[in-house]
């Protein structure tokens, strides 16, 4: 995963912990941390293939979430992850989105604090 392209304080261990905590009750405990890292790597592989991680990519990227989920699911089949279903992949994708949004909110909050200190 190319974390430097995100421009945020992305931490793989924090992301995995966050995703595990966001998993719906029926999917909790199905995936190991390594399974989640693998699926997240596939998410970023998808982003790279679509050109979303290029420096000249638009700030507001719109893509087909269903296409992303199918891409991750199809590519993860070869890893033979026990209990892997479309629903499980969707939970990981949703958790990754939520984690990244939390980083953006954190970054926004830090910028607000910096502005207040300058006053």
Taking only the tens place, the pLDDT of each residue in 54-73 is: 776 566 667 799 999 999 99
Q: In the chain, what are the domain boundaries?
A: 3-118
Residues with Cβ within 8 Å of residue 56, at least 6 apart in sequence: none
Whether residue 1 has pLDDT greater than 80: no
Give the predicted TM-score (pTM) of the model: 0.79
What single-letter DSSP state applies at residue 31?
S
Residue 5 confidence (pLDDT) above 50: no
Kindly state the helix (H) or strand (E) to which residue 74 belongs, with its residue range: helix 65-76
Render pLDDT for 7-57 as a digit per residue (tens, 0 to 9): 558 999 999 999 999 999 999 999 999 999 999 999 999 999 998 887 765
């Amino acid at each position: 995963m190319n974390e430097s392209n995100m421009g945020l304080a992305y931490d793989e261990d924090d992301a995995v912990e966050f995703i595990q905590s966001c998993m719906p009750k029926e999917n909790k405990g199905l995936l190991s941390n390594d399974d989640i890292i693998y699926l997240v790597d596939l998410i970023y592989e998808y982003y790279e293939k679509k050109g979303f991680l290029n420096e000249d990519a638009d700030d507001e990227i719109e893509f087909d979430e269903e296409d992303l989920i199918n891409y991750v699911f199809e590519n993860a089949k070869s890893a033979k992850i026990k209990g892997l279903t479309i629903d499980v992949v969707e939970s990981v994708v949703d958790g990754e989105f939520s984690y990244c949004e939390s980083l953006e909110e954190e970054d926004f909050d830090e910028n607000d604090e910096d502005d207040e200190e300058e006053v």
